[in-house]
Amino acid sequence: GLTDGAKAFEPVGGGLPDSFEGNVDSHLVAAHTHRPSVAVVGPDGQVFLSDDAARTWTDLGTVPGTPRAALVA
């Protein structure tokens, strides 16, 4: 469930598509305490990066195969 007192999830926007075809799993989410970077990999391998805690997103292109995780370094 949501732990910040919110009643529902809100759309992110800021450069992410309105929706993804298929399922975007969040089985593995890791965060650095001093960096606000977040990566999302869509089911088609499209990679999006945010360096401002998910306010805005940059399309980094598509990776081949079936990605299972993204590392932001």
Unique residue bearing structure tokens 């805690």? 53
- Angle at the Cα of 55 (from 51 to 57), degrees rounded to 5? 60
Quick one: which of 69, 27, 59, 23 has its CA closest to 44? 23
Distance separating alpha carbons of residues 9 and 25, to the nearest angstrom: 15
Distance separating alpha carbons of residues 37 and 34, to the nearest angstrom: 9
pLDDT of residue 30: 62
pLDDT, tens digit, 9 for 90 and up, residues 6-62: 666 667 778 888 877 766 666 556 667 788 888 888 878 888 888 888 889 999 999
pLDDT of residue 4: 64
Q: Is 0.85 topped by the overall pTM?
A: no
